[in-house]
Chains A and B, each alone.
Chain A
């Protein structure tokens, strides 16, 4: 346990400024959106959509952008969240094994009395701490923005929605970084890991976002996308929690499968010079 802790502390020490910097950057952006809502007349926005019924589909797609929750969801949890995912994949690709293989420090580390499983578990724990901490900063700043925004106060402050989105985002981000981890154990190369993990992430995002536009008989494809299981629109915009536990368990299951696969592969791998 002490050895695993040593790895976690070392990584946190390395990435602390990145963690704080990125967390505050996205958090302030989210906070800024809540401030914009103060000056934005949402009823005018709703009138605009009502006047142009051809935008109705778009409205469905983003989920009621004329409400404070809907607009925050569209701006932060839909558009910006792709960049958050990108950032997590980057961190996972550079922090997990390939970085140490490329820096040629892995021999020295793995020659010490630490099992490969413990070593990888140290990395995995760090990655979860990282995504939990970054999102804690983001969600805290968004929460502060909501608490001080009259637009949100008027429609009601639903902290349960924000908490549910925070939880589902953590397990979802977990699937992104654990995908990177799996490729890292296979390729042991940062570039290949990042390339493969990002390709999968964008494919998932694409499928999970526009599956509704597919012919009905092909819509089953949504089940292969991890983004489908986030259900943020239901949670945050409509306050519907019916599928929350199920989605949470599916994403958690994917995390566990990816971790087990990574451990299995890494224990059998030769460490290249």
Chain B
């Protein structure tokens, strides 16, 4: 797990004057499951489509398997399987027909008994016409399309979009099995951390077209701030509380009648408890925010420039 499979350096894509991605730096290592997280419009799909040669970069460099995305797109795509967020409307065709056509574009023989097996696991009738399939069932066709070819890199853009929780579990299990069996690299884009954290080794968080953070799930949890909740007998004045607690050590303070909420880093927790000895509260709870909350913090802050953005994130963590 050392070779870099995907490398982006200052990769930028503009659609006219609108920003798609800007100075995106990213490295995905061989054999890992990399979660690519970001809200809608953050640039996830633009990154993927640029890597696959569907759109042309404006500037910067990017390579997949060490091959340049602009010069060697065909060579790259021979080793990549892609599942887009939306499969599209394949007119009045059956799932089998679509699979046959798209597998035909790989120019290799496909093991149809394995296709049937996957369809059974996903509870999908591949002989039904696409018009008669629900969004979830259409997406299952895409999952089969992505998992069947023998490739070195799986690029999955919101693979469980529209699927029910049971099928979502099956899909992630199949992705994990595929990755374990073949050792392929998985680049998994999503806006749902709860899904990605189940399978990913590392996650990259993209916001406003640039990478805000790349970390392991454990690192993210470890870097998390502590949530401190204070309960008082009567409504408390925020200004008074601020005079009692050293505001330098807290990340956030809000008051709702007789409750106060504070965010504090692990390093400052001890100091906070000392300063709270002077405060007359009736109850105190210290909890760790779940990963989703940490993740949402990246989404919610909107700094102007990348540099400013990264420094804010560093401060938050």
Measured CB to CB, the residues of A under 8 A from B are 2-3, 6-7, 10, 13-14, 100, 103-115, 268, 270-271, 273
Task: Return A10 CB to nearest CB of chain B, in Å.
Answer: 5
Q: 1/0 per position for B61-97, CB-CB distance to A under 8 A?
A: 0000000000000100110101010111111010001
Select from chain B the residue with minimum beta-carbon distance to A6: B104
Report chain B residues within 8 Å CB of A103: 88-91
Report chain A residues within 8 Å CB of B52: 110-111
Which listed residue (B15, B74, B86, B145) contacts A115, Cβ 8 A?
A: B74
Known: A111-B54, A111-B84, A113-B77. 10 other contacts (CB 8 A): A103-B89, A103-B91, A104-B88, A105-B88, A106-B88, A108-B87, A113-B105, A114-B77, A271-B49, A273-B45
Contact A110 B84 (CB under 8 A): no
A7 to B107, alpha carbons, bound, how many Å? 12
Report chain A residues within 8 Å CB of B49: 107, 271, 273
B95-139 contacts to A, CB under 8 A, are 97, 101-102, 104-107
Task: Return A258 CB to nearest CB of chain B, in Å.
Answer: 23
Task: Return B6 CB to nearest CB of chain A, in Å.
Answer: 15
B291-312 contacts to A, CB under 8 A, are none
Task: Return B95 CB to nearest CB of chain A, in Å.
Answer: 13
Task: Return A141 CB to nearest CB of chain B, in Å.
Answer: 28
Contact B105 A107 (CB under 8 A): no
Contact B54 A271 (CB under 8 A): yes
A113 to B78, alpha carbons, bound, how many Å? 5
The answer, yes or no, to whether B56 is at the interface (CB within 8 Å) is yes
A115 to B53, alpha carbons, bound, how many Å? 10
Given contacts A108-B84, A268-B56, contact A113 B90 (CB under 8 A): no
Report chain B residues within 8 Å CB of A105: 87-90
A80 to B97, alpha carbons, bound, how many Å? 36
Contact B105 A114 (CB under 8 A): yes
A193 to B52, alpha carbons, bound, how many Å? 26
A109 to B56, alpha carbons, bound, how many Å? 17
Report chain A residues within 8 Å CB of B87: 104-105, 108
A6 to B74, alpha carbons, bound, how many Å? 17
The answer, yes or no, to whether B55 is at the interface (CB within 8 Å) is yes
The answer, yes or no, to whether B159 is at the interface (CB within 8 Å) is no
Of the A-B pairs whose beta carbons lie under 8 Å apart in the complex, a sample of 20, sorted by A's number, is: A2-B107, A7-B105, A13-B97, A14-B93, A100-B88, A104-B86, A104-B88, A105-B88, A108-B84, A108-B102, A108-B145, A109-B105, A111-B77, A111-B80, A111-B82, A111-B84, A113-B78, A114-B105, A270-B15, A271-B55
Report chain B residues within 8 Å CB of A111: 52, 54, 77, 80, 82, 84, 155
Report chain A residues within 8 Å CB of B31: none
Contact A2 B104 (CB under 8 A): yes
Contact A108 B88 (CB under 8 A): yes
Task: Return A3 CB to nearest CB of chain B, in Å.
Answer: 5
Q: 1/0 per position for B28-58, CB-CB distance to A under 8 A?
A: 0000000000000000010001001111100
A268 to B53, alpha carbons, bound, how many Å? 10
Which 7 pairs across A and B sit closest by C-beta, in order of nearness?
Answer: A6-B104, A105-B88, A112-B105, A104-B88, A111-B82, A113-B78, A270-B55
Task: Return B312 CB to nearest CB of chain A, in Å.
Answer: 30
Report chain A residues within 8 Å CB of B78: 113
The answer, yes or no, to whether B142 is at the interface (CB within 8 Å) is yes
A6 to B102, alpha carbons, bound, how many Å? 9
Task: Return A17 CB to nearest CB of chain B, in Å.
Answer: 11
Report chain A residues within 8 Å CB of B82: 107-108, 111
Select from chain A the residue with minimum beta-carbon distance to B142: A108
Contact A6 B101 (CB under 8 A): yes
Task: Return B84 CB to nearest CB of chain A, in Å.
Answer: 5
Which listed residue (B89, B97, B107) contacts A113, Cβ 8 A?
A: B107
Select from chain B the residue with minimum beta-carbon distance to A268: B56
Which listed residue (A113, A114, A270) contacts B54, Cβ 8 A?
A: A270
Select from chain B the residue with minimum beta-carbon distance to A270: B55
A74 to B106, alpha carbons, bound, how many Å? 49
Interface core residue of B53, B88, B89, B97 (most chain A CB under 10 Å): B88
Contact B102 A112 (CB under 8 A): yes
Contact B106 A107 (CB under 8 A): no
Which listed residue (A6, A112, A270) contacts B56, Cβ 8 A?
A: A270
Interface core residue of A10, A112, A268 (most chain B CB under 10 Å): A112
Task: Return A119 CB to nearest CB of chain B, in Å.
Answer: 9
Task: Return A90 CB to nearest CB of chain B, in Å.
Answer: 16
A108 to B157, alpha carbons, bound, how many Å? 11
Report chain B residues within 8 Å CB of A100: 88
Select from chain A the residue with minimum beta-carbon distance to B77: A113
Select from chain A the residue with minimum beta-carbon distance to B55: A270
Contact A3 B77 (CB under 8 A): no
Task: Return A181 CB to nearest CB of chain B, in Å.
Answer: 20
Select from chain B the residue with minimum beta-carbon distance to A273: B45
Report chain A residues within 8 Å CB of B142: 108
Which listed residue (B84, B86, B101, B107) contacts A10, Cβ 8 A?
A: B101
Which listed residue (B84, B89, B90, B91) contacts A107, Cβ 8 A?
A: B84
Report chain B residues within 8 Å CB of A7: 105
Report chain B residues within 8 Å CB of A2: 104, 107
A108 to B93, alpha carbons, bound, how many Å? 15
